[in-house]
């Protein structure tokens, strides 16, 4: 084994590739070779470190020093000054404050010490190398499942961990598996929902780009637990790098005997396939996803029967999302007590958040359940841009709730937010500063839902059309007080009568905008003359 004194990790994801990461990587390798340092310094690819809008990001170890917005022409200076002479290049150091400072992973902002479970390997290992995943404890959970727990033990472990679905519904993961295990019929399927149609959300993409084997292991454990023999990863067709890395990881797992027939001579057979979707928002609903996977138009099905008894091609099917499944290997490997050491008693574990909008450092973070909205914005995302004031945040994606400043100290978890008629949803947090226009924001949300409505049911098809017409009038300054009242009534009717969660969920952004920003919304109504 060749030991080196420095490791230079370069973040390779869809965003950094567009920013020129491959060219930076080549320039670094060439310059290191030119300086005769190839035997001392290793340049390694890794997934996203969580920061967005920072261009090409590299990390130099053992210092743990982060450089941002690196260009190919910076390579010579980094190698000469930092790697050869030990003098960090200050102008390139990642910083959140005007004052230049070294930002290390354990210190502050997006690099603040995070309780990482899902993102444990992201930005640390090479996602295209199965050996690095194994060296980091990968596939140890499978071994424990096969030798110690057996299928019923895996379900028991996940049930006692308190893991609930991280896609937004918050349904107990193990209960789904248990229903499928007891359902008659073969074969049984597991589907990973990686479609990620929520606007502003990219957590699943970065999880897949940074650690594809963790998803594979999670799906293996789920299938082993309830008796599944085939898995499908339903993913947005636009996620080219995620698809490439998933397919490579699946092939590597097959070559290592971790997928296929009679895995590790246990009698358990399981294989995976990647299926590309068209990015329809409605396919986030599990039965619409199944319809799409069967080659049909993505319309929700009547329920019951539920997918766990009659799902894909009429067979028992479990649908979990990326983040949910990515939690499973660490739960099974480390045990219930370890997992419940994170988060709260009622909501254990962590949550991955996509933080966008008017914050100093947008990106991806993982924090314990129960972390306050204030800490997420000010500790992890560096606060509001340019020292401006916090106005509000849209939490949970387009179908989430607008939260005002009085909610900054609310604990972010599935249970606590229910008390405030809010949802954690997909974990997307759109932060708004003092200049944001709530009416304009609500208008964008309603237009999105009108566009994404599949048209299957009348309440949603006509309701979204009417809501858009109303909000457009209000935004133009042509609305009336009764328009706002009508908008509320329509959304409540859609909640009670729509066929699927798409139409049912619109009441939340409307009601929350009026709860926290009532004066601003009514302020757009012209005064009666």
Percent of the chain with pLDDT over 90: 79
Q: Look at residue 110 in the predicted model and tell me its pLDDT.
A: 52
Query: Is 117 contained in some domain?
Result: no
The yes-or-no verdict on residue 304 having pLDDT over 60 is: yes
Could you tell me the pLDDT band of residue 318, with boundaries at 50, 70 and 90?
very high
Same domain, 239 and 329: yes
The yes-or-no verdict on residue 99 having pLDDT over 90 is: no
Average pLDDT of the residues in 167-183 = 92
Same domain, 137 and 22: no
Question: Among 35-44, 110-119, 488-497, whose mean pLDDT is lowest?
Answer: 110-119
Cβ atoms within 10 Å, residue 126: 17
Q: Look at residue 102 in the predicted model and tell me its pLDDT.
A: 31
- By CB atoms closer than 10 A (0-12, 13-18, 19+), residue 387 is exposed
Query: Is 91 contained in some domain?
Result: yes
Q: Look at residue 76 in the predicted model and tell me its pLDDT.
A: 96
Q: Look at residue 112 in the predicted model and tell me its pLDDT.
A: 54
Query: Is 271 contained in some domain?
Result: yes
Same domain, 334 and 358: no
Same domain, 245 and 394: no
Same domain, 172 and 211: yes
The yes-or-no verdict on residue 1 having pLDDT over 50 is: no
- Report which of residues 110 and 230 the model is more confident about: 230
Average pLDDT of the residues in 358-374 = 93
- Residue finishing a domain among 413, 433, 453: 433
Q: Look at residue 113 in the predicted model and tell me its pLDDT.
A: 61
Nearest to 70 by CA among 26, 122, 127: 26
Average pLDDT of the residues in 409-435 = 92
Q: Look at residue 95 in the predicted model and tell me its pLDDT.
A: 65
- Residue finishing a domain among 433, 448, 468: 433
The yes-or-no verdict on residue 108 having pLDDT over 90 is: no
The yes-or-no verdict on residue 4 having pLDDT over 50 is: yes
The yes-or-no verdict on residue 69 having pLDDT over 60 is: yes
Average pLDDT of the residues in 516-529 = 86
The CATH number of residue 233's host domain is 3.40.50.11540
Q: Look at residue 416 in the predicted model and tell me its pLDDT.
A: 92
The CATH number of residue 103's host domain is 3.40.30.10
Same domain, 320 and 296: yes
How large is the angle between the packed helices 150-161 and 212-226, nearest 10 degrees?
Answer: 120
The yes-or-no verdict on residue 465 having pLDDT over 90 is: yes
Average pLDDT of the residues in 357-373 = 93
Quote the CA–CA distance of 148 and 398 in Å, as a whole number: 43
The CATH number of residue 406's host domain is 3.10.20.600
Same domain, 324 and 364: no
Could you tell me the pLDDT band of residue 2, with boundaries at 50, 70 and 90?
low
The yes-or-no verdict on residue 101 having pLDDT over 50 is: no
Question: Taking a C-beta distance cutoff of 8 angstroms, is the pair 242, 186 a contact?
Answer: no
Could you tell me the pLDDT band of residue 529, with boundaries at 50, 70 and 90?
very low
Residues 6+ apart with CB under 8 A from 482: none
Percent of the chain with pLDDT over 70: 95
Same domain, 280 and 382: no
Average pLDDT of the residues in 135-140 = 96
Average pLDDT of the residues in 405-421 = 93
Average pLDDT of the residues in 436-442 = 97
Query: Is 240 contained in some domain?
Result: yes
Task: Return the sign of the alpha-carbon dihedral for residues 516, 518, 523, 524.
Answer: positive
Q: Look at residue 170 in the predicted model and tell me its pLDDT.
A: 79
Same domain, 331 and 208: yes
Q: Look at residue 105 in the predicted model and tell me its pLDDT.
A: 37
Domain extent at residue 139:
130-339
Query: Is 298 contained in some domain?
Result: yes
Average pLDDT of the residues in 313-332 = 97
Query: Is 119 contained in some domain?
Result: no
Of 207-211, 277-281, 378-382, highest mean pLDDT: 207-211
Same domain, 32 and 83: yes
The CATH number of residue 482's host domain is 1.20.1440.230
Same domain, 487 and 416: no
Query: Is 242 contained in some domain?
Result: yes
How large is the angle between the packed helices 438-452 and 458-475, nearest 10 degrees?
Answer: 150
Query: Is 209 contained in some domain?
Result: yes
- Residue finishing a domain among 433, 458, 485: 433
Task: Return the sign of the alpha-carbon dihedral for residues 468, 520, 357, 427.
Answer: negative
Same domain, 381 and 446: no
Report the domain count for the chain.
4
Q: Look at residue 109 in the predicted model and tell me its pLDDT.
A: 52
Q: What angle do CA 400, 401, 402 make, to 5 degrees?
A: 135
């Amino acid at each position: 084994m060749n030991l080196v004194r420095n490791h230079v990790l370069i973040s390779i994801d869809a965003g950094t590739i567009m920013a020129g990461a491959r060219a930076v990587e080549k320039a670094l390798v060439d310059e290191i070779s030119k300086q005769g340092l190839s035997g001392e310094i290793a340049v390694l690819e890794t997934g996203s470190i969580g920061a967005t809008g920072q261009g090409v990001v590299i990390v130099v170890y053992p210092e743990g020093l982060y450089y941002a917005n690196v260009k190919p022409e910076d390579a010579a200076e980094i190698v000469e000054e930092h790697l050869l002479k030990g003098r960090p290049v200050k102008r390139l150091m990642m910083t959140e404050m005007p004052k230049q400072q070294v930002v290390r992973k354990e210190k502050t902002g997006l690099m603040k010490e995070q309780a990482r479970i899902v993102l444990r390997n992201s930005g640390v290992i090479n996602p295209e190398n199965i050996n690095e995943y194994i060296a980091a404890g990968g596939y140890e959970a499978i071994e424990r499942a096969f030798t110690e727990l057996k299928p019923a033990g895996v379900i028991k472990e996940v049930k006692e961990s308190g893991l609930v679905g991280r896609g937004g519904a918050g349904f107990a993961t193990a209960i789904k598996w248990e229903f499928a295990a007891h359902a008659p019929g073969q074969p049984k399927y597991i589907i990973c929902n990686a479609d990620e149609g929520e606007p502003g959300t990219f957590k699943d993409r970065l999880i897949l780009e940074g650690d594809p084997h963790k998803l594979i292991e999670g799906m293996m454990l789920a299938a082993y637990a309830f008796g599944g023999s085939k898995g499908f990863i339903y993913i947005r067709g636009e996620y080219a790098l995620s698809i490439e890395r998933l397919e490579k990881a699946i092939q590597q797992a097959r070559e290592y005997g971790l997928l296929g027939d009679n895995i590790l001579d246990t009698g358990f057979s399981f294989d995976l396939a990647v299926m590309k979707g068209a990015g329809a928002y409605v396919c986030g609903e599990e039965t619409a996803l199944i319809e799409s996977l069967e080659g049909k138009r993505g319309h929700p099905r009547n329920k019951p029967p539920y997918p766990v008894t009659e799902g894909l091609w009429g067979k028992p099917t479990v649908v979990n999302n990326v983040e949910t499944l990515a939690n499973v290997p660490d739960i099974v490997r480390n045990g219930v007590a370890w997992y419940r050491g994170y988060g709260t008693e009622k909501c254990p574990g962590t949550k991955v958040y996509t933080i966008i909008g008017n914050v100093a450092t947008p990106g991806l973070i993982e924090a314990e359940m129960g972390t306050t909205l204030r800490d997420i914005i000010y500790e992890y995302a560096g606060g509001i841009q340019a020292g401006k004031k916090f106005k509000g945040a849209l939490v949970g994606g387009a179908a989430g709730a607008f939260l005002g400043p009085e909610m900054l100290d609310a604990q972010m978890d599935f249970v606590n937010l229910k008390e405030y008629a809010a949802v954690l949803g997909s974990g997307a947090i759109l932060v708004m500063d003092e200049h944001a226009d709530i009416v304009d924001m609500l208008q964008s949300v309603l237009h999105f839902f009108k566009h994404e409505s599949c048209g299957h049911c009348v309440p949603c098809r006509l309701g979204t059309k009417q809501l858009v017409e109303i909000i457009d009038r209000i935004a133009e300054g042509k609305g009336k007080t009764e328009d706002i009242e009508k908008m509320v009534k329509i959304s409540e009717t859609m909640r009670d009568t729509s066929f699927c969660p798409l139409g049912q969920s619109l009441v939340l952004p409307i009601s929350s905008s009026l709860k926290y920003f009532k004066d601003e919304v009514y302020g757009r109504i012209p005064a009666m003359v």
